[in-house]
């Protein structure tokens, strides 16, 4: 494979790169089915309270990514971990 072809394949793979957050709530006892889809997240299940916390978390993570000028698929694992920690701490304080 030529150098230009290798570069083109790598660029195509980068263009297709995607990522999403998946939230699973397992504490539902009221028989309700809760599903929330967002631009880069899918939240399933949970009690009303748990699902609400997952929604708030996903929205705030996206806000932090936007604030940093980044997309989920381009952020490092360490940076995403830091964002999630900051978001969950802010939710606990409120």
pLDDT digits (tens, 9 = 90+) for 18-61: 899 999 999 999 999 999 999 999 999 999 999 999 999 999 99
CA distance 54 to 9: 36
At residue 4 the predicted structure's pLDDT band, cuts being 50, 70 and 90, is low
Strands 21-25, 41-45: pairing is: parallel
Measure Cα distances from 73 to 17, 18, 28, 83 in Å: 7, 5, 30, 14
CA distance 15 to 69: 17
């Amino acid at each position: 494979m030529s150098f230009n072809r290798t570069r083109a394949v790598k660029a195509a793979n980068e263009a297709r790169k995607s990522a999403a957050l998946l939230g699973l709530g397992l504490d539902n006892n009221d028989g309700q089915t809760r599903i929330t889809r967002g631009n880069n997240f899918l939240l399933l299940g949970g009690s009303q309270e748990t699902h609400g916390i997952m929604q708030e978390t996903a929205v705030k993570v996206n806000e932090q990514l936007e604030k940093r000028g980044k997309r989920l698929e381009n952020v490092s694992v360490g940076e995403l971990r830091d964002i999630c920690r900051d978001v969950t701490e802010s939710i606990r304080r409120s």
